[in-house]
Amino acid sequence: MTMKRKLYFATLLLCLLFAVTIAPVAALEFNELCADYNPDVGEPSQDCLDYMTDFPEPLTAQVPLDGVTLANFSYWRVGPEAVNLFDAPGGSVVGQIEAGFNFVRVVNTTDGWLQTQDGMWIAESDARWYEPSSFRGVLLLDNLEQPFAWVLGDILTVPAPGAEQSMETGRFLPRYTRINLFAEYQAEDGWYWYMIGPNEWIEQRNISIPKLVERPEGVEGRWVAIDIYEQTIIAYEDDTPVFSTLVATGLPGTDTNEGIFQIWARVANDTMSGFTGAPNSYALQSVPWVMYFDDSISLHGTYWHDLFGFRRSRGCVNMTISDARWLFDWTAQGEPNEDGEVVTYVYVYASGDYQGDGPQTK
């Protein structure tokens, strides 16, 4: 990343924080009416069926759409081959955007030409407009007392764990659907299945579950927990969960570091680049709502993909623009400490083996 503002005291503080005891991950707690149901030995009780009928959807509310950023920022993919920069439409070549994964913010268009935020022009034929994801996370209206999940891809439910998907017996769930989890069942292959309604089951690899975690020792006030296994984030007020959404953390080789950090810089939009000259180089203009917490690693809005719930980044924690805007504002409104500073902790952990090979691997 190109962000150069690095604070010595922040680095020292991070070293101290890594020594703090990490709290264990709490197991999912299901409502007692359905928690003990086993599909191998019968049907759910009437009380369980009634409970699922009464609570068909998670008790949540979507955060607002960041319509201002989405309406006023126009993002275009350039390349991946090298692209010439011009001083005017049809003018002289004054530079080049090197080959790589590159995005520019366009501020003006005319007769097949695009002007970028730095004043240069590129041919429209050398770029493609991208529409950022409109997915949004949720406010947790019940303190996450009822476990829920997001569906990671279009899928049909099945009538029993391990059954085949069928249009005749299943309910179609589009990607990003929120579903309540009423009971779980571990199959012989080790994978868990979750009951999401009467005769409706879904397997754990098809969902991401925001899981409660105990507040680490030394952390207080407003803090966020990022689960690399589930690819979720939960924002807390002390011990109360208030917000959750899907994220996309670092790919193998550029993993998001686990540990406890503090947000040390917040920038409304920033330019990010890395691996210049390498096959995996990237350059991204006007990345919105950036919150740096691990040196140059940050939480930030993401306009170049819609794969939240999967590992995707070069180490940062990707969020949709609307989710990042909500978190950016929320972290700024915390209670100041004795020094008058608003401190937000970031706890990165894994509730399962996200790099291994087996039932607990995503």
List, for residues 84-112, the tens digit of each pLDDT value. 999 999 999 999 999 999 999 999 999 99
The structure tokens 């011990």 sit at 239
**pLDDT of res. 277:** 64
Q: Decide: residue 259, CB within 10 A, 0-12 exposed, 13-18 middle, 19+ buried.
A: middle
Please compute the mean of the pLDDT values over residues 256-270 and round it to a whole number.
97
- Mean pLDDT, the chain, rounded, equals 91
CB of 195 closer than 8 Å to CB of 204: no
Where does 142-231 show beta strands of DSSP type E?
148-151, 155-156, 172-173, 178-180, 183-186, 192-197, 200-203, 207-208, 222-227
CB of 204 closer than 8 Å to CB of 183: no
> Which region among 55-69, 119-133, 276-290 has the lowest average model confidence (pLDDT)?
276-290
Three-state DSSP string of 81-113: CCEEEECCCCCCEEEEECCCEEEEEEEEEECCE
Characterize the bridge pairing of strands 297-301 and 282-294. Answer: antiparallel
| Separation of alpha carbons 12 and 45, rounded Å | 56
**pLDDT of res. 336:** 81
Stated pTM of the model:
0.91
In this predicted structure, the answer to whether residue 264 has a pLDDT above a threshold of 50 is yes
Residue 61 β-bridge partners: 139
Q: Using alpha carbons only, what angle is made at residue 225 by residues 220 and 231, rounded to the nearest 5 degrees?
A: 175
| Separation of alpha carbons 355 and 335, rounded Å | 37
Does a cis peptide bond (omega within 30 degrees of 0) precede residue 336?
no
Q: Assign 271 a pLDDT band (cuts: 50, 70, 90).
A: very high
Boundaries of CATH 2.40.440.10 in the chain?
8-25+214-349
Boundaries of CATH 2.30.30.40 in the chain?
67-130
Q: Which fold has domain 67-130?
A: SH3 type barrels. (2.30.30)
List, for residues 165-174, the tens digit of each pLDDT value. 999 999 999 9
The structure tokens 């691996």 sit at 275
How many other C-beta atoms lie within 10 A of the C-beta of residue 339?
A: 6
Residue 73, token pair as written in the block? 């920022």
| Separation of alpha carbons 194 and 201, rounded Å | 5
In this predicted structure, the answer to whether residue 80 has a pLDDT above a threshold of 50 is yes
Please compute the mean of the pLDDT values over residues 267-274 and round it to a whole number.
93
| Separation of alpha carbons 241 and 257, rounded Å | 23
Q: Assign 237 a pLDDT band (cuts: 50, 70, 90).
A: very high
Residue 315, token pair as written in the block? 């180490």
Residue 341, C-beta contacts closer than 8 angstroms, at least 6 positions apart: none
Characterize the bridge pairing of strands 101-110 and 282-294. Answer: parallel
| Separation of alpha carbons 246 and 176, rounded Å | 9
In this predicted structure, the answer to whether residue 77 has a pLDDT above a threshold of 90 is yes
CATH for 8-25+214-349 is 2.40.440.10
**Residue 35: which region, alpha, beta or left (left: phi > 0; alpha: psi -120 to 50)?**
alpha
Characterize the bridge pairing of strands 155-156 and 101-110. Answer: unpaired
List, for residues 297-355, the tens digit of each pLDDT value. 999 999 999 999 999 999 999 999 999 999 999 999 988 877 778 899 999 999 999 88
State which amino acid sits at residue 100.
G
The structure tokens 């008058």 sit at 340
